[in-house]
Amino acid sequence: MGFGYTLSTIDEYSAFIVSKKINNLINTYSRSKRIRGIIYSNPVIDEDLIPNLFNTLDDNIFISDIVLMDDYNTPKLKHLYPFFEEIIFFPSVRKVRIIECVKLWNVDNELSEENL
């Protein structure tokens, strides 16, 4: 979390300081022409925090949408869907194994004849 705090040791004053820091980061990075989106991750987000999040970001002219991201295979945030106009689902990949690798390109960036 930063500033020497954890979720179990944070008090109201430190929550205010951390919130201000997060808001400043969002305001700073949202002005960048190279950044197309910001992911805000909060493991304890609930119905009470969402209105505050929307109110905080409402004045930022660089943010047009707030989208909820949830796991496609095992959705954990269904109770928050009514608060958002858009939900993006992403697959959770626990393990990826490469079974067999085949060379497709030579150093010259030409297709290998053996793979045609």
User: Where do the domains of the chain lie?
Assistant: 1-64, 67-116
CA-only gyration radius of the chain, Å = 21
pLDDT at 98 over 70: no
Beta partners for residue 89, in sequence order? 70
Query: Whole-model pTM?
Result: 0.59
Q: How confident is the model over 2-35, as pLDDT tens digits? A: 556 666 777 776 666 777 888 888 888 888 888 7
Q: How confident is the model over 36-95, as pLDDT tens digits? A: 777 777 778 889 888 888 888 888 888 888 888 888 888 889 999 999 888 888 876 666
pLDDT at 105 over 50: yes
Alpha carbons 92 and 90: distance in angstroms, whole number: 6
Query: Own/partner pairs for 57-62, CB < 8 Å, 24+ apart?
Result: 57/26, 60/26, 60/27, 60/30, 62/30, 62/31
Using alpha carbons only, give the angle 19, 25, 31 rounded to the nearest 5 degrees.
135
